[in-house]
């Protein structure tokens, strides 16, 4: 995709953080933007904020863990604009589970998997057939994380597991789109290189009742304040990557048709380049030959 003017982007997790930043950046390029999120209030605020700057933006309340809800998002986008050219499966949560992974509840696992992994699968299932039928150039961006997508942190079993899966899903999606010579690219987005203030640490506030735990927590949820306090107690001053920088990198990744959309970090670059060579030079052609 080279010309984004008048094209349509759908972004899940669009009420704040990376999702809203991508919505604003894409809209600045002349795109029509559909923001999706679970909680109406913040979503309405995000839409109003971008519209106040003259952007063509609409919001659709969506539970990405529910396929019917994602289908409704697709239908709303096509009804409003007649096409979708960019899909960003960006919604994500930190499950906030306590203890070791064998102590996590099934609802902890269920919620993390429903949003972080099934949300991506639902997006692919709902939108890709319609995008292929439309025949226009397009792009899909799935938000992963260095935590799991490259190497897991030992105290985030659920989150890291889901993000590792998102990376693999996107690798296979990329290969299969190429195998049918689709005009649609696929990228995996690795925000960073520093921590982002996206509200991920406080996502428990929007945890649906169906994934509630029967027993109350024994420890407080992590907040950005408690995270910063722990960092400073360890002698580390917290540093953050602006969400606007991630959105800019996502835009460049789409325009350059890059599979890996990652921060400018030498250590991360080396890790990604090694895996990228493996995928592009060996794994992906193998997938294509098999199919």
pLDDT digits (tens, 9 = 90+) for 30-57: 999 999 999 999 999 999 999 999 999 9
Domain boundaries, the chain: 8-215+241-290
pLDDT tens per residue across span 86-122: 999 999 998 789 999 999 999 999 999 999 999 999 9
d(CA 145, CA 165): 10
DSSP string for residues in 61-98: E--TTSHHHHHHHHHHHHHHHS---EEEE---------
Residues annotated as catalytic are 159
Which residues of the chain, if any, have pLDDT below 50? 266-270, 272, 274-291
d(CA 31, CA 153): 36
Q: Give the pair of three-digit tokens for residue 27.
A: 């809209």
Does the structural domain 8-215+241-290 have CATH classification 3.40.50.720? yes
From residue 15, give the alpha-carbon distance in Å to each of 85, 103, 167, 270. Answer: 20, 32, 23, 33
């Amino acid at each position: 995709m080279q010309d984004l003017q008048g094209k349509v982007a759908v972004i899940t997790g669009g009420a704040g953080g990376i999702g809203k930043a991508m919505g604003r950046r894409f809209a600045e390029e002349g795109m029509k933007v559909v923001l999706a999120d679970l909680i109406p209030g913040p979503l309405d605020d995000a839409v109003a904020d971008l519209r106040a700057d003259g952007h063509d933006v609409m919001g659709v309340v969506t539970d990405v863990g529910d396929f019917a809800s994602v289908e409704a998002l697709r239908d709303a986008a096509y009804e409003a604009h007649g096409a979708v050219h960019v899909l960003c499966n960006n919604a994500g949560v930190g499950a906030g589970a306590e203890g070791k992974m064998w102590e996590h509840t099934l609802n902890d696992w269920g919620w993390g998997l429903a949003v972080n992994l099934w949300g991506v699968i639902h997006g692919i299932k709902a939108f890709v057939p319609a995008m292929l039928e439309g025949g226009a150039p397009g792009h899909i961006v799935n938000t992963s994380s260095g935590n799991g997508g490259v190497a897991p942190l030992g105290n985030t079993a659920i989150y890291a597991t889901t993000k590792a899966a998102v990376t693999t899903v996107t690798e296979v999606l990329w290969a299969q789109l190429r195998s049918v010579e689709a005009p649609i690219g696929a990228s995996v987005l690795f925000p960073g290189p520093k921590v982002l203030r996206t509200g991920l640490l406080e996502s428990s506030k929007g945890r649906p009742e169906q994934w509630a735990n029967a027993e109350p927590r024994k420890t407080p949820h992590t907040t950005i304040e408690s995270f910063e306090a722990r960092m400073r107690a360890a002698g580390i001053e917290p540093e953050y990557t602006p969400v606007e920088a991630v959105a800019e990198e996502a835009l460049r990744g789409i325009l350059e048709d890059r599979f890996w959309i990652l921060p400018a970090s030498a250590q991360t670059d080396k890790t990604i380049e090694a895996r990228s060579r493996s995928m592009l030079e060996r794994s992906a052609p193998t997938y294509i030959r098999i199919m």
